[in-house]
Copies of this chain bind each other. A is one copy, B any other.
């Protein structure tokens, strides 16, 4: 099956305009058809040994969201302590999640025991199943963008909070808590770039020819 130029350009448009959304969620809910396409895109990610280790927990209940938000707030206070001086002040002013505003939360997990203990391709690099799950998340992120739905990854929260609130068994690894919803806008650039937290790296500086080039490390 050949991909033509218009289709290729569409992918690049989606990749370049995808954002980590924290603000800008509206309260319009996501239709079942759209949600189903986003989840199916995740499910068709590559997975090591075709083990498909992912699960998706859908969170729409207000009380559950409140409990997760509390977990974020606690983790955010701890996190702020790690930044020094003006970076701490700036950190505290950045909105980093949309847990309550986004109509839908999705917790994505990895069942490392799925389909037996020995998995093709995980024999030497055990983290491959975690990485497969991240591939699913990136597929979902692009699918969401293609549906004009914003998505954000909330990483400032302890796994233990999500485990308790969502009753996730101990043998299941927690990879991400995602917030999804319609948005009033997609930012032109990543917000951390827009506010001058960090600049975009020069791609040519990240490419090495043949072997690692010392001048770039």
Contact = CB atoms under 8 A, between A and B. Distances in A.
A76 to B, nearest CB: 9
Contacts of A172: 212, 217
B11 A142 contact: yes
A173 to B, nearest CB: 10
Nearest to A52: B201
A63 to B, nearest CB: 10
Contact of A212 (B54, B75, B168): B168
A60 interface: yes
Interface residues of A, number: 105
25 contacts: A1-B13, A6-B6, A7-B10, A7-B146, A8-B146, A11-B143, A12-B41, A15-B44, A40-B203, A43-B206, A50-B193, A50-B198, A57-B209, A57-B211, A57-B212, A64-B210, A94-B120, A111-B217, A123-B156, A124-B156, A131-B134, A135-B141, A138-B139, A166-B212, A172-B217
Interface of A: 1-3, 6-8, 10-18, 20, 37, 39-41, 43-46, 48-52, 54-61, 64, 75, 78-79, 82-84, 87, 91, 94, 96, 111, 115, 118, 120-125, 127-128, 130-131, 134-135, 137-139, 141-143, 145-148, 153, 155-159, 165-169, 172, 175-176, 186, 190, 192-193, 197-198, 200-201, 203, 206-212, 216-217
Given A3-B17, A125-B157, 13 more contacts: A8-B146, A11-B41, A12-B41, A15-B41, A18-B44, A46-B190, A54-B206, A55-B206, A59-B210, A64-B211, A87-B118, A131-B131, A135-B141
